[in-house]
Structure 1
């Protein structure tokens, strides 16, 4: 059993279920960048689950492109929320503003921040698998 693969799968499941909770139960409408992050995260729940079941060690080849792009998208989205200078580059012109913050726990934890952490952790687990440093 590969614990890094299991951990990456659990992180992707928590991120997926968390985004569904925010939209379906809390009724937070996702902005454009939220949708991009979902497009990158949701398949990881399925891909990593199958990879864990079959103990697929080469899965990093398929997961890393999703998670690295996810880091870039969620990092930029978080910057739109927290760096006033970046708000002038906001692309969400209609509907829900990408700079809006439904949650702001402890003054820095927002939904894109949570996605960013999930993508970083999944990327770290994939790099560990690639390098052969399994727990």
Structure 2
């Protein structure tokens, strides 16, 4: 096995990590659509911003998988960071840390209202924060693995 074949085999770990990040983004998209379209939960402004950051990942990540292109991390990272920041802000709004005067959605569908909860503390903003955190972590690991394998 020559050096180029070894790099291809080792970079399959990076491919797997990117694939799992795509699975998470796709699952998050489908779950958000399920809650809004099937269950008919109202969507607040912060949820829309999180969706704006999440939905393009469903298209961008598989385009980088076939053929494998690690540079996609450079393009999707701003979306993941933006989605994480909005989700973190949303968690703080729901927790009551952000005062009502600073909340972006006081009319219509309030962002501080919990529409769905599992176990009493896992709500939609927490699930979004966890999803963006996990996607960001997988992107970091993929880039790190690829860098270690090629140098």
Question: TM-score, normalising length from structure 2?
Answer: 0.83
Runs of 4+ in 1 over 4 A off after TM superposition: none
Aligned match of 1:29: 42
* Secondary structure, aligned partner of 1:54: coil
Post-superposition offset of 1:77: 0.3
Question: How far does the alpha carbon of each residue in 1:52-75 deviate from its partner, in whole angstroms, 9 at most, with x for none?
Answer: 222111111011111011111001
Q: Which has the larger radius of gyration?
A: 2
Distance in 1 (CA, whole Å) between partners of 2:68 and 2:137 is 18
Question: How far does the alpha carbon of each residue in 1:16-59 deviate from its partner, in whole angstroms, 9 at most, with x for none?
Answer: 00000000000011000000000000000110121122211111
1:12-91 to 2 correspondences below 5 Å: 12-82=25-95, 84-88=96-100, 89-91=102-104
* Secondary structure, aligned partner of 1:132: helix
TM-align CA RMSD = 1.4
Unpaired runs of 5+ residues, structure 2, are 1-11
